[in-house]
Amino acid sequence: MRAVRLIAGLLFVGFFASAQPVAQPATQPYFPAAGDAWERRKPGQVGMDNTKLQEAVAFARQQETKQMPRDFSTQEDIFGSLLGPIPSDRAATNGLILRHGYIVAEWGETQRPDPTYSVAKSVLSTILGITIDRGMIQTVKDPVARYIHDGGYDSGQNRKVTWEHHARQTSEWEGELWGKKHDFVGKEAFGRGERKPRPLQEPGSFYEYNDVRVNRLALSLLELWKKPLPNVLKDEIMDPIGASNTWQYVTYPNARVEIDGRRMSSVSGGSRWGGGLWISTRDEARFGYLILRNGRWADRQIVSSGWLKEAVTRGPAGPDYGYLWWLNTERKAWPSAPAGSFAAIGAGSNLIWIDPEHDLVIVWRWHEGSPDELIRRVLAALK
Protein backbone atom coordinates (compact mmCIF):
# COMPACT_ATOMS: atom_id res chain seq x y z
CA MET A 1 0.00 0.00 0.00
CA ARG A 2 2.85 2.33 0.89
CA ALA A 3 4.39 1.66 -2.54
CA VAL A 4 1.10 2.44 -4.25
CA ARG A 5 0.84 5.76 -2.40
CA LEU A 6 4.42 6.62 -3.37
CA ILE A 7 3.79 5.86 -7.03
CA ALA A 8 0.57 7.90 -6.96
CA GLY A 9 2.40 10.81 -5.38
CA LEU A 10 5.10 10.73 -8.00
CA LEU A 11 2.52 10.65 -10.77
CA PHE A 12 0.75 13.65 -9.22
CA VAL A 13 3.97 15.62 -8.94
CA GLY A 14 4.88 14.72 -12.52
CA PHE A 15 1.50 15.83 -13.83
CA PHE A 16 1.66 19.10 -11.89
CA ALA A 17 5.16 19.84 -13.16
CA SER A 18 4.19 19.11 -16.75
CA ALA A 19 1.16 21.37 -16.47
CA GLN A 20 3.27 24.42 -15.55
CA PRO A 21 4.51 26.76 -18.30
CA VAL A 22 8.21 26.41 -18.99
CA ALA A 23 10.04 29.56 -17.96
CA GLN A 24 11.57 31.33 -20.98
CA PRO A 25 14.67 33.54 -20.76
CA ALA A 26 14.12 37.26 -21.23
CA THR A 27 14.86 38.30 -24.81
CA GLN A 28 14.03 42.00 -24.72
CA PRO A 29 16.36 43.77 -27.15
CA TYR A 30 18.85 46.27 -25.82
CA PHE A 31 18.52 49.93 -26.81
CA PRO A 32 21.32 52.36 -25.98
CA ALA A 33 20.53 55.40 -23.88
CA ALA A 34 20.95 58.83 -25.39
CA GLY A 35 24.45 60.25 -25.55
CA ASP A 36 27.65 58.26 -25.20
CA ALA A 37 26.35 55.67 -22.72
CA TRP A 38 26.34 52.91 -25.33
CA GLU A 39 27.09 49.54 -23.80
CA ARG A 40 29.93 47.46 -25.17
CA ARG A 41 30.26 43.71 -25.18
CA LYS A 42 33.32 41.56 -25.62
CA PRO A 43 32.97 39.49 -28.80
CA GLY A 44 32.68 36.26 -26.81
CA GLN A 45 29.67 37.65 -24.94
CA VAL A 46 27.69 37.98 -28.17
CA GLY A 47 28.79 34.83 -29.93
CA MET A 48 31.80 36.15 -31.83
CA ASP A 49 35.44 35.15 -32.00
CA ASN A 50 37.64 37.98 -30.69
CA THR A 51 40.71 37.16 -32.78
CA LYS A 52 38.79 36.98 -36.05
CA LEU A 53 36.86 40.15 -35.29
CA GLN A 54 40.05 42.06 -34.51
CA GLU A 55 41.53 40.80 -37.77
CA ALA A 56 38.47 42.19 -39.58
CA VAL A 57 38.92 45.58 -37.92
CA ALA A 58 42.65 45.60 -38.75
CA PHE A 59 41.71 44.97 -42.38
CA ALA A 60 39.16 47.81 -42.36
CA ARG A 61 41.67 50.28 -40.94
CA GLN A 62 43.90 49.76 -43.98
CA GLN A 63 41.21 50.45 -46.60
CA GLU A 64 41.24 54.26 -46.79
CA THR A 65 39.52 55.53 -49.93
CA LYS A 66 41.74 56.92 -52.67
CA GLN A 67 38.84 58.20 -54.77
CA MET A 68 37.92 61.12 -52.52
CA PRO A 69 40.80 63.06 -50.94
CA ARG A 70 40.39 64.27 -47.39
CA ASP A 71 40.24 67.89 -48.60
CA PHE A 72 37.36 67.20 -51.08
CA SER A 73 39.51 68.75 -53.83
CA THR A 74 37.99 66.48 -56.50
CA GLN A 75 34.37 67.22 -55.55
CA GLU A 76 33.44 69.45 -58.49
CA ASP A 77 35.45 67.41 -60.98
CA ILE A 78 33.51 64.30 -59.99
CA PHE A 79 30.05 65.76 -59.45
CA GLY A 80 29.90 69.20 -61.11
CA SER A 81 29.49 72.75 -59.86
CA LEU A 82 28.53 73.07 -56.21
CA LEU A 83 25.21 74.44 -55.00
CA GLY A 84 25.95 74.22 -51.29
CA PRO A 85 28.88 74.17 -48.84
CA ILE A 86 31.26 71.28 -48.28
CA PRO A 87 33.59 70.86 -45.27
CA SER A 88 37.27 71.70 -45.59
CA ASP A 89 38.20 68.08 -44.91
CA ARG A 90 36.89 64.75 -43.68
CA ALA A 91 37.84 62.03 -41.20
CA ALA A 92 40.00 59.03 -42.06
CA THR A 93 38.28 55.71 -42.63
CA ASN A 94 36.35 54.71 -39.52
CA GLY A 95 33.61 52.36 -38.47
CA LEU A 96 31.55 50.59 -35.88
CA ILE A 97 30.06 47.08 -35.54
CA LEU A 98 26.94 46.25 -33.53
CA ARG A 99 25.81 42.78 -32.45
CA HIS A 100 22.45 42.55 -30.68
CA GLY A 101 22.66 46.33 -30.36
CA TYR A 102 25.93 46.35 -28.39
CA ILE A 103 29.17 47.85 -29.69
CA VAL A 104 31.64 45.01 -30.30
CA ALA A 105 34.14 46.95 -32.41
CA GLU A 106 34.85 50.62 -33.13
CA TRP A 107 37.72 52.36 -34.91
CA GLY A 108 38.59 55.89 -36.01
CA GLU A 109 36.75 59.16 -35.43
CA THR A 110 33.24 57.77 -35.06
CA GLN A 111 31.89 60.86 -33.31
CA ARG A 112 32.90 63.31 -36.03
CA PRO A 113 30.04 64.50 -38.29
CA ASP A 114 30.95 64.20 -41.99
CA PRO A 115 28.90 64.36 -45.20
CA THR A 116 27.36 60.96 -45.80
CA TYR A 117 26.28 61.56 -49.40
CA SER A 118 23.51 59.22 -50.60
CA VAL A 119 23.02 57.50 -47.25
CA ALA A 120 20.64 60.46 -46.91
CA LYS A 121 18.38 58.79 -49.50
CA SER A 122 17.59 55.95 -47.11
CA VAL A 123 16.80 58.56 -44.44
CA LEU A 124 14.38 60.24 -46.87
CA SER A 125 12.82 56.83 -47.53
CA THR A 126 12.16 56.49 -43.80
CA ILE A 127 10.62 59.98 -43.65
CA LEU A 128 8.39 58.96 -46.59
CA GLY A 129 7.32 55.88 -44.60
CA ILE A 130 6.45 57.99 -41.56
CA THR A 131 4.50 60.36 -43.82
CA ILE A 132 2.41 57.41 -45.05
CA ASP A 133 2.05 56.01 -41.51
CA ARG A 134 0.59 59.37 -40.46
CA GLY A 135 -2.00 59.26 -43.24
CA MET A 136 -0.56 62.32 -44.98
CA ILE A 137 -0.24 60.13 -48.08
CA GLN A 138 -2.87 57.44 -48.53
CA THR A 139 -0.68 54.97 -50.39
CA VAL A 140 2.81 54.96 -51.90
CA LYS A 141 1.23 54.17 -55.27
CA ASP A 142 -0.69 57.46 -55.38
CA PRO A 143 0.35 60.04 -57.99
CA VAL A 144 2.30 62.85 -56.36
CA ALA A 145 0.18 65.31 -58.36
CA ARG A 146 -2.80 64.37 -56.17
CA TYR A 147 -1.05 66.06 -53.23
CA ILE A 148 1.45 68.56 -54.65
CA HIS A 149 0.26 71.55 -56.72
CA ASP A 150 3.37 73.68 -57.18
CA GLY A 151 3.61 73.16 -60.94
CA GLY A 152 6.23 70.43 -60.72
CA TYR A 153 3.78 67.69 -61.63
CA ASP A 154 1.58 69.47 -64.16
CA SER A 155 3.05 68.08 -67.39
CA GLY A 156 1.71 64.95 -69.01
CA GLN A 157 4.93 63.13 -68.11
CA ASN A 158 5.09 64.24 -64.49
CA ARG A 159 1.39 63.74 -63.72
CA LYS A 160 2.04 59.97 -63.89
CA VAL A 161 4.80 60.00 -61.28
CA THR A 162 3.89 58.24 -58.04
CA TRP A 163 5.56 58.36 -54.63
CA GLU A 164 6.72 54.80 -55.28
CA HIS A 165 8.35 55.82 -58.58
CA HIS A 166 10.35 58.46 -56.71
CA ALA A 167 11.36 55.96 -54.02
CA ARG A 168 12.48 53.37 -56.59
CA GLN A 169 14.29 55.97 -58.74
CA THR A 170 12.06 55.10 -61.69
CA SER A 171 10.09 58.37 -61.79
CA GLU A 172 11.48 59.78 -65.06
CA TRP A 173 10.40 63.17 -63.69
CA GLU A 174 11.42 65.94 -66.09
CA GLY A 175 12.37 69.47 -65.19
CA GLU A 176 14.92 71.65 -63.45
CA LEU A 177 15.36 72.09 -59.72
CA TRP A 178 17.78 74.40 -57.88
CA GLY A 179 19.71 75.00 -61.11
CA LYS A 180 20.24 71.33 -62.07
CA LYS A 181 18.30 69.61 -64.88
CA HIS A 182 16.91 66.10 -64.69
CA ASP A 183 18.90 64.85 -67.72
CA PHE A 184 22.43 65.34 -66.27
CA VAL A 185 23.63 66.81 -69.58
CA GLY A 186 26.55 69.27 -69.26
CA LYS A 187 30.02 68.74 -67.84
CA GLU A 188 30.11 71.98 -65.84
CA ALA A 189 26.87 71.11 -64.05
CA PHE A 190 27.46 67.38 -63.63
CA GLY A 191 31.21 66.72 -63.87
CA ARG A 192 32.09 63.10 -64.55
CA GLY A 193 28.42 62.29 -64.03
CA GLU A 194 27.49 64.02 -67.29
CA ARG A 195 25.25 61.82 -69.44
CA LYS A 196 24.24 61.63 -73.07
CA PRO A 197 20.74 62.78 -73.96
CA ARG A 198 18.14 60.01 -74.13
CA PRO A 199 14.36 59.82 -74.61
CA LEU A 200 12.28 59.88 -71.44
CA GLN A 201 10.58 56.60 -70.59
CA GLU A 202 7.22 55.87 -69.02
CA PRO A 203 7.34 56.56 -65.24
CA GLY A 204 7.88 53.31 -63.39
CA SER A 205 9.47 51.49 -66.32
CA PHE A 206 13.09 52.69 -66.25
CA TYR A 207 15.60 52.97 -63.40
CA GLU A 208 18.07 55.84 -63.21
CA TYR A 209 20.05 56.90 -60.17
CA ASN A 210 19.24 60.60 -60.28
CA ASP A 211 19.79 63.17 -57.52
CA VAL A 212 17.66 65.85 -59.17
CA ARG A 213 14.64 63.57 -58.96
CA VAL A 214 15.34 62.61 -55.35
CA ASN A 215 15.67 66.32 -54.54
CA ARG A 216 12.22 66.73 -56.10
CA LEU A 217 10.91 64.02 -53.74
CA ALA A 218 12.41 65.91 -50.79
CA LEU A 219 10.70 69.14 -51.89
CA SER A 220 7.37 67.34 -52.21
CA LEU A 221 7.71 65.92 -48.69
CA LEU A 222 8.53 69.40 -47.38
CA GLU A 223 5.34 70.73 -48.91
CA LEU A 224 3.30 67.99 -47.23
CA TRP A 225 4.85 68.42 -43.78
CA LYS A 226 4.89 72.22 -44.05
CA LYS A 227 8.04 72.32 -41.96
CA PRO A 228 11.70 71.83 -42.90
CA LEU A 229 12.68 68.18 -43.21
CA PRO A 230 15.67 68.61 -40.85
CA ASN A 231 13.07 69.46 -38.18
CA VAL A 232 11.01 66.43 -39.18
CA LEU A 233 14.09 64.23 -38.99
CA LYS A 234 15.00 65.60 -35.56
CA ASP A 235 11.51 65.31 -34.08
CA GLU A 236 10.43 62.02 -35.61
CA ILE A 237 13.67 60.01 -35.73
CA MET A 238 16.89 61.44 -34.32
CA ASP A 239 15.67 62.67 -30.93
CA PRO A 240 13.62 59.52 -30.22
CA ILE A 241 16.64 57.27 -30.95
CA GLY A 242 18.92 59.35 -28.73
CA ALA A 243 21.16 60.75 -31.47
CA SER A 244 23.68 63.47 -30.66
CA ASN A 245 23.20 67.15 -31.42
CA THR A 246 26.19 67.23 -33.79
CA TRP A 247 24.43 66.15 -37.00
CA GLN A 248 23.03 68.70 -39.44
CA TYR A 249 21.13 68.54 -42.71
CA VAL A 250 22.75 71.30 -44.76
CA THR A 251 20.67 72.86 -47.54
CA TYR A 252 21.61 74.71 -50.73
CA PRO A 253 21.28 78.49 -50.25
CA ASN A 254 19.02 78.73 -53.31
CA ALA A 255 16.77 75.79 -52.33
CA ARG A 256 14.07 77.90 -50.72
CA VAL A 257 10.30 77.97 -51.19
CA GLU A 258 7.40 79.76 -49.59
CA ILE A 259 4.87 77.61 -47.73
CA ASP A 260 1.91 79.19 -45.96
CA GLY A 261 3.66 82.55 -46.07
CA ARG A 262 6.93 81.28 -44.60
CA ARG A 263 10.24 80.81 -46.41
CA MET A 264 11.65 77.31 -45.92
CA SER A 265 14.71 75.47 -47.17
CA SER A 266 14.46 72.14 -48.94
CA VAL A 267 17.05 69.39 -48.43
CA SER A 268 18.84 67.19 -50.94
CA GLY A 269 19.18 63.44 -51.27
CA GLY A 270 22.96 63.60 -50.93
CA SER A 271 26.08 65.75 -50.94
CA ARG A 272 26.77 65.50 -54.66
CA TRP A 273 26.59 69.29 -55.05
CA GLY A 274 27.52 70.18 -51.47
CA GLY A 275 25.27 70.34 -48.44
CA GLY A 276 23.41 67.17 -47.50
CA LEU A 277 23.36 65.17 -44.29
CA TRP A 278 26.49 65.66 -42.16
CA ILE A 279 26.43 63.05 -39.42
CA SER A 280 28.69 60.95 -37.21
CA THR A 281 29.25 57.22 -37.55
CA ARG A 282 27.72 56.69 -34.12
CA ASP A 283 24.51 58.49 -35.09
CA GLU A 284 24.39 56.48 -38.31
CA ALA A 285 24.70 53.32 -36.22
CA ARG A 286 21.67 54.40 -34.19
CA PHE A 287 19.69 54.92 -37.38
CA GLY A 288 20.81 51.53 -38.71
CA TYR A 289 19.85 49.86 -35.44
CA LEU A 290 16.39 51.44 -35.61
CA ILE A 291 15.91 49.83 -39.02
CA LEU A 292 17.30 46.49 -37.78
CA ARG A 293 14.67 46.58 -35.01
CA ASN A 294 11.92 46.96 -37.62
CA GLY A 295 11.37 50.65 -36.93
CA ARG A 296 10.96 50.27 -33.18
CA TRP A 297 13.03 51.99 -30.51
CA ALA A 298 12.36 50.81 -26.95
CA ASP A 299 8.60 51.25 -26.48
CA ARG A 300 7.99 53.48 -29.52
CA GLN A 301 7.22 52.38 -33.07
CA ILE A 302 8.87 55.18 -35.03
CA VAL A 303 8.19 53.87 -38.53
CA SER A 304 5.96 50.89 -39.25
CA SER A 305 7.47 47.47 -39.81
CA GLY A 306 5.13 47.12 -42.79
CA TRP A 307 6.74 50.08 -44.50
CA LEU A 308 10.24 48.74 -43.87
CA LYS A 309 9.27 45.37 -45.31
CA GLU A 310 8.12 47.12 -48.49
CA ALA A 311 11.16 49.40 -48.49
CA VAL A 312 13.59 46.47 -48.76
CA THR A 313 11.61 44.58 -51.41
CA ARG A 314 13.01 44.70 -54.92
CA GLY A 315 11.08 46.58 -57.59
CA PRO A 316 10.16 45.46 -61.11
CA ALA A 317 12.72 47.69 -62.89
CA GLY A 318 16.40 48.34 -62.35
CA PRO A 319 19.00 46.73 -60.09
CA ASP A 320 18.60 45.09 -56.69
CA TYR A 321 17.00 48.19 -55.19
CA GLY A 322 14.11 48.91 -52.85
CA TYR A 323 12.74 52.25 -51.70
CA LEU A 324 16.07 54.13 -51.70
CA TRP A 325 17.80 51.12 -50.09
CA TRP A 326 20.36 48.84 -51.77
CA LEU A 327 19.47 45.14 -51.55
CA ASN A 328 21.29 41.81 -51.77
CA THR A 329 18.42 39.66 -53.02
CA GLU A 330 20.55 38.12 -55.77
CA ARG A 331 23.67 38.08 -53.61
CA LYS A 332 25.53 40.05 -56.26
CA ALA A 333 26.21 43.17 -54.20
CA TRP A 334 27.80 41.29 -51.30
CA PRO A 335 28.25 37.60 -52.22
CA SER A 336 29.45 36.76 -48.70
CA ALA A 337 26.33 38.18 -47.06
CA PRO A 338 22.82 36.81 -46.57
CA ALA A 339 20.28 37.59 -49.29
CA GLY A 340 18.16 39.41 -46.71
CA SER A 341 20.83 41.98 -45.86
CA PHE A 342 20.56 45.52 -47.20
CA ALA A 343 22.31 48.87 -46.93
CA ALA A 344 22.27 52.63 -47.16
CA ILE A 345 25.20 53.62 -49.37
CA GLY A 346 26.79 56.95 -50.22
CA ALA A 347 29.79 58.10 -52.22
CA GLY A 348 33.03 58.02 -50.41
CA SER A 349 32.32 55.14 -49.57
CA ASN A 350 29.77 55.55 -46.81
CA LEU A 351 27.90 52.44 -45.70
CA ILE A 352 25.27 51.35 -43.18
CA TRP A 353 24.93 47.59 -43.72
CA ILE A 354 22.10 45.79 -41.92
CA ASP A 355 21.87 42.01 -41.47
CA PRO A 356 18.64 40.88 -39.75
CA GLU A 357 19.64 37.19 -39.97
CA HIS A 358 22.68 37.69 -37.74
CA ASP A 359 21.45 40.76 -35.82
CA LEU A 360 24.34 42.86 -37.11
CA VAL A 361 24.89 46.46 -38.16
CA ILE A 362 28.16 47.59 -39.76
CA VAL A 363 28.84 51.28 -40.36
CA TRP A 364 32.00 51.81 -42.43
CA ARG A 365 33.01 55.16 -43.88
CA TRP A 366 35.60 56.48 -46.31
CA HIS A 367 36.75 53.03 -47.37
CA GLU A 368 38.10 51.70 -50.64
CA GLY A 369 36.27 49.25 -52.90
CA SER A 370 33.46 46.85 -52.09
CA PRO A 371 32.58 46.24 -48.43
CA ASP A 372 32.10 42.53 -49.11
CA GLU A 373 35.54 41.57 -47.81
CA LEU A 374 34.90 43.23 -44.45
CA ILE A 375 31.44 41.67 -44.30
CA ARG A 376 32.95 38.25 -45.03
CA ARG A 377 35.49 38.66 -42.27
CA VAL A 378 32.90 39.83 -39.72
CA LEU A 379 30.56 36.94 -40.55
CA ALA A 380 33.49 34.53 -40.22
CA ALA A 381 33.88 35.76 -36.63
CA LEU A 382 30.42 34.48 -35.70
CA LYS A 383 30.55 31.28 -33.67
Q: Which amino acid is present at 114?
A: D
The pLDDT score that the predictor gives to residue 21 is 30
Residue 148 pLDDT exceeds 60: yes
pLDDT category at 17 given cuts 50, 70, 90 is: very low
Q: Mean pLDDT for the chain?
A: 93
- Please state, in angstroms and rounded to a whole number, the distance separating the CA atoms of residues 366 and 77: 18
pLDDT of 189-205, one tens digit each? Answer: 999 999 999 999 999 99
Residue 143's φ and ψ, nearest 5 degrees, are -65, 140
pTM of the model: 0.92
The pLDDT score that the predictor gives to residue 11 is 36
pLDDT of 259-279, one tens digit each? Answer: 999 999 999 999 999 999 999
The answer to which of 26-30, 168-172, 264-268 has the lowest mean pLDDT is: 26-30
The pLDDT score that the predictor gives to residue 24 is 31
Question: Which domains are assigned to the chain?
Answer: 43-142+226-380 (3.40.710.10)
